[in-house]
Structure 1
Amino acid sequence: MAGADADRPTREISGVKKKVVKKETGLGLANRKAENFGEWYSELVVRADMIDYYEISGCYILLPWAMSIWKVMQDFFDAEITKMKVEACYFPIFVPDYFLQKEKDHIEGFAPEVAWVTKAGGTDLEAPIAIRPTSETVMYPYYSKKIRGHRDLPKKFNQWSNVVRWEFSNPMPFIRSREFLWQEGHSAFATKEEADVEVLEILELYRRIYEEYLAVPVIKGKKSELEKFAGGLYTTSVEAFVPNTGRGIQGATSHCLGQNFAKMFEITFEDEKGEKAMVWQNSWAYSTRTIGVMVMVHGDDKGLVLPPKVASIQVIVIPVPYKDADSQGIFDACYATVNTLCEAGIRAKSDSRNNYSPGWKYSHWELKGVPLRIEIGPLDLANKQVRAVRRDKVEKIDIPRDDLVNQVKDMLHSIQQNLFNVAKQKRDACIQVVHTWDEFVEALSQRKMILAPWCDEEAVELEVKARTKGEIGAAKTLCSPFDQPELPGGTKCFASSKPAKKWTYWGRSY
């Protein structure tokens, strides 16, 4: 409403006042996303109370502001896989050495990262015990024992757990850490056709987590033979992209393991004809890496920008009393606003602390990424309205109290959609289609996500890695998208000039 700013001296001189507030509050980030992305990210996840550092390098304390996001995704995913008849379970974190050695190809992919327990107190263990980097070798001896006939199939288990992968280079909160949280599903079927169906069903759930909850666009596709899960038949993934760094990031994976693990762990069953057969298996997982991807894609120089669907506080209500205003009336209006929103299923909270100024509170909740801020001052009280301020863009609107719930719901929906749309526009602007090696090198130097025709040969992929190796990492295949553009006859591979078989995304990655 016109004239509503008359009672808001803290909002008046937006350009200059912003600098003054940051100086007074000390809440501004020291690093800028566009100038020093790595330092900006590391500073942000700490300042926004998502993590704290721990005494062991590469291990982090996940704080409630981050865990609440994980819980929202967990609740969604649990509900969906329950519809698919997946059962919850938990297997031990410790893995006997001889379990790991049963599957040589599989463990080779994890060998450098496996952490071992070698002592109990001051006594050396008779044999070292591994801490799980993943749970195929932990769970499949049980499958071998319990699966006997076709009526025991399908068997679908999922566990929410932690794993340890002793990364030695460039640990990064959420993205690459030595211990992280994840879900891992493990299924066994009588036929490959059943396994193939589940692989894609799970992958679609991962797409929904990223796009519908985290507002991060992803590409669904198949990994190359070189990049697939060690010991598996084929790997599908959802791939995200971080425009500021020009790096792709594997968001989640759904693997068809084929019968390789069934052979190693003797997981057989008697089929309907009374004949002995081996099961077909899948494994699938996503981790707390999802949170890091969200921060990288949406965060700005003020702090986090949380999509409403995953924000533990969707609306923060801040009283703006001053001078001789009816402070108690303003505080009462804030509490009533919170109650009204909460009763409507909106996650709202009032910041009524009297030892901080409204300006400090604005900066604090912007840093933490709360999607919508509601301010109530004397004129709002008199006019029976509230002022709403969006976190995702500079936009303020005065809302009549009698239409509060409807307009807030609409705004939260709009914020969620806008975050996805903006992220997709930025991601799409970074995709470069190339046909030749020279175009590929130029696009790579511009930090693009590259779509190129490829002959699908492992030797060529290795050569591309070797030719692009440098201080900031080599280029690699990200995935071959399921949504394949037309490939005209006679199209040649960008790297080998051999006949191209498919379009594949390439780039540097985390």
Structure 2
Amino acid sequence: MSEDQDLGITQSKTHNTGEWYAEVVQKAELANYGPDGMSGFIITRPRAYELWERVQSYLDTRFKQTGVQNAYFPLFIPEGYLEREKEIVEGFDPEVAWVEQAGRNELEERLAVRPTSESIIAPYLSQWIRSYRDLPMRVNQWTSVVRWEATETKPFFRTKEFLWQEGHTAHETRADAWTETMCRLDQYESTYEDLLAIPVLRGAKPEHDKFPGADTTTTVEALMPDGKSVQGATSHYLGTGFADAFDITYTDTNETSQVAHTTSWGLSWRALGALIMTHSDDQGLVLPPTIAPEQVVIVPIWQTETKETVIEYAEDIADELDDADIRVEIDDRDEQNPGFKFNEWELKGVPLRAEIGPNEAAEGTVTLVHRPDGESITVEQSRIVEAVQEQFDSIYAKLYTNAEETLKSNIRTAETRSELLGTIGQHGGYVKTPWCGNESCETAIKDEIAAEIVMVPLSNDVTDEQDSIDAHTTAGSDDTTVGLDGGSLDLTDSTCVVCDNPALETAYFAKSY
């Protein structure tokens, strides 16, 4: 097999999505599968880790602007800590990895390898919080967690160990905690839409699928090109359950002891899986300029007699871009021809290619080529920085628009069980239906077609601490933060599509990763 053949993607995104995705991940040098005997683990290569660092930087900056401080808590959690919040044990127990022995000695108490950190962070919030003056308290950690998934794993989408951030906060009132919950959801939405060029829907998880121990779990959901949904990030209003279990209390202005209201929120490297799946194509990885390790690759094209002139001109262009903080790479390898270089950088997802040959060097121009669709434009050197920034904006808009069109065209409505099953079976995507609120009706659909309720519309109508926090939009309400074609159905006189009992909510069914 030639180098050119080895570079190419052999699977079709449309027809063999899973195999195509795995091939892009490996050939674009994002990840390798873990050692034999460690199914479900991956080796994250530098290129993918840099993508994760850019997600981290984007979010970390916004967290800190809103009062969050980073901390670090142990990888291991004593079993007794988990038992203090029984819902955590019941929710995660099948996926928890346990350490029972250290060296040759059996431990007196088992240690859980953290599946999440509420039970190790909450006891310390309890120690640190004494007075209303200590509130709000906001901490976050960038770390990894382990969940021993029994289902099929897929790099970045679902692995037994994964990277993420998890934030934890404590507040005086439920209204303050709800505002915090929505602030983080806003930041996650921005990460997808303003950094990754992926539009999302916002909503809440149904009652039976919320985070164990939470009062309300909110989510951003992204639709993949194969019609499956990705839970992009979640933000949880935990109520006072964790605070009661771990004695997170404070003394108010009247010197009375009060129980704090807490939140937790997290985004994982599943965002990278969504990035790869959404934008990439049969030539390989496609990245928006906002996150690409190299935003521009310059490919000089020369003959022997013009090499020195072309290379010198290319270096001048690279210096100008570098001075403008544009991430630029010159590919001046002698051993590879321009066609090979084009294919290799397309495979790696670089958003913009600058082609410079003898004509460009003589005329003081640069030919710029868009990765997503091959559109090209010739610009003057005198405005190269401005022109490149313009092309970045154009490329980002193309990627976002394509993803938005996919989302908009794949939100459908079903009023009967047969319509729901038929629509998901034929088209995938999101199908919104009237729902009675009972888990058994979701289970009936899940058993038949492997689709589940990924979200219900979300109400953000909380004005003060006396208001009850209702995560779900009431029947017929227009008060919803779900964008695009989302939102609630008019449930007046509607019945559940499964059981025919009165419908209380709008459910979004989809197959999911």
TM surpasses 0.5: yes
Answer with 297-306 or 496-505: which moved more.
496-505
**Inter-CA distance 261–308: structure 2 relative to 1 (3 Å threshold):** same
The answer for the alignment partner of 2:398 in structure 1 is 418
The answer for the alignment partner of 1:63 in structure 2 is 45
Q: Cα RMSD over matched residues?
A: 1.7
In the TM superposition, residue 485 of structure 1 has moved relative to its aligned partner by 4.2
Pair 1:491 & 2:494 matched: yes
Residue in structure 2 matching 1:260, options 222, 237, 241: 241
Secondary structure in structure 2 of the residue aligned to 1:326: helix
2:428 and 2:15 mapped to 1: Cα distance? 18
Is the contact between residue 440 and residue 450 of structure 1 (CA under 8 Å) also seen in structure 2?
no
Is the contact between residue 453 and residue 507 of structure 2 (CA under 8 Å) also seen in structure 1?
no
- Partner amino acid, structure 2, of 1:495: V
In the TM superposition, residue 486 of structure 1 has moved relative to its aligned partner by 5.4
Pair 1:29 & 2:4 matched: no
The answer for the alignment partner of 2:464 in structure 1 is none
The answer for the alignment partner of 2:231 in structure 1 is 250
In the TM superposition, residue 270 of structure 1 has moved relative to its aligned partner by 1.3
1:27 and 1:467 mapped to 2: Cα distance? 42
Pair 1:427 & 2:407 matched: yes
- Partner amino acid, structure 1, of 2:77: V
Pair 1:466 & 2:447 matched: no
2:279 and 2:260 mapped to 1: Cα distance? 42
Secondary structure in structure 2 of the residue aligned to 1:340: helix
Is the contact between residue 247 and residue 447 of structure 1 (CA under 8 Å) also seen in structure 2?
no
The answer for the alignment partner of 1:501 in structure 2 is 504
The answer for the alignment partner of 1:7 in structure 2 is none
1:262 and 1:233 mapped to 2: Cα distance? 12
The answer for the alignment partner of 1:74 in structure 2 is 56
In the TM superposition, residue 22 of structure 1 has moved relative to its aligned partner by 8.3
In the TM superposition, residue 109 of structure 1 has moved relative to its aligned partner by 1.2
Q: Deviations over 1:71-112 (max 9, x none)?
A: 112112111111211111111111001001111112211111
In the TM superposition, residue 153 of structure 1 has moved relative to its aligned partner by 1.2
The answer for the alignment partner of 1:347 in structure 2 is 327
Is the contact between residue 71 and residue 141 of structure 2 (CA under 8 Å) also seen in structure 1?
yes
Aligned residues: 485
Residue in structure 2 matching 1:38, options 18, 21, 25: 18
- Partner amino acid, structure 1, of 2:163: L
In the TM superposition, residue 500 of structure 1 has moved relative to its aligned partner by 2.7
In the TM superposition, residue 336 of structure 1 has moved relative to its aligned partner by 1.0
Secondary structure in structure 2 of the residue aligned to 1:498: coil
Is the contact between residue 234 and residue 255 of structure 1 (CA under 8 Å) also seen in structure 2?
yes
1:351 and 1:418 mapped to 2: Cα distance? 26
2:62 and 2:376 mapped to 1: Cα distance? 37
Q: How does 1:333-344 map to 2 (within 5 A)?
A: 333-344=313-324
Residue in structure 2 matching 1:478, options 455, 458, 466: 455
Is the contact between residue 315 and residue 374 of structure 1 (CA under 8 Å) also seen in structure 2?
yes
Q: How does 1:136-147 map to 2 (within 5 A)?
A: 136-147=118-129
**Inter-CA distance 456–209: structure 2 relative to 1 (3 Å threshold):** farther
In the TM superposition, residue 453 of structure 1 has moved relative to its aligned partner by 3.7
Q: Deviations over 1:323-368 (max 9, x none)?
A: x441011111111111111111211110111111111110100000
Gaps of 5+ in 1: 1-20
2:286 and 2:110 mapped to 1: Cα distance? 45
2:121 and 2:7 mapped to 1: Cα distance? 47
Is the contact between residue 452 and residue 494 of structure 1 (CA under 8 Å) also seen in structure 2?
no
- Partner amino acid, structure 1, of 2:207: E
- Partner amino acid, structure 2, of 1:487: D
Pair 1:110 & 2:110 matched: no
1:496 and 1:242 mapped to 2: Cα distance? 30
- Partner amino acid, structure 2, of 1:334: A
In the TM superposition, residue 117 of structure 1 has moved relative to its aligned partner by 1.1
The answer for the alignment partner of 1:272 in structure 2 is 253
In the TM superposition, residue 456 of structure 1 has moved relative to its aligned partner by 4.3
Is the contact between residue 457 and residue 488 of structure 2 (CA under 8 Å) also seen in structure 1?
no
Pair 1:369 & 2:349 matched: yes
The answer for the alignment partner of 1:169 in structure 2 is 151
2:47 and 2:3 mapped to 1: Cα distance? 25
In the TM superposition, residue 243 of structure 1 has moved relative to its aligned partner by 2.6
1:24 and 1:313 mapped to 2: Cα distance? 21
Is the contact between residue 22 and residue 28 of structure 1 (CA under 8 Å) also seen in structure 2?
no
1:22 and 1:408 mapped to 2: Cα distance? 34
In the TM superposition, residue 23 of structure 1 has moved relative to its aligned partner by 7.3
Gaps of 5+ in 2: 459-480
Pair 1:202 & 2:184 matched: yes
2:252 and 2:457 mapped to 1: Cα distance? 35
Is the contact between residue 385 and residue 399 of structure 1 (CA under 8 Å) also seen in structure 2?
yes
Answer with 486-495 or 194-203: which moved more.
486-495
Per the normalisation by structure 2, the TM-score is: 0.91
- Partner amino acid, structure 2, of 1:469: D
Is the contact between residue 297 and residue 328 of structure 2 (CA under 8 Å) also seen in structure 1?
yes
The answer for the alignment partner of 1:133 in structure 2 is 115
- Partner amino acid, structure 2, of 1:372: L
The answer for the alignment partner of 1:316 in structure 2 is 297
Q: How does 1:290-329 map to 2 (within 5 A)?
A: 290-322=271-303, 324-329=304-309
In the TM superposition, residue 174 of structure 1 has moved relative to its aligned partner by 0.4
In the TM superposition, residue 147 of structure 1 has moved relative to its aligned partner by 1.4
Is the contact between residue 453 and residue 492 of structure 1 (CA under 8 Å) also seen in structure 2?
no
2:204 and 2:151 mapped to 1: Cα distance? 27
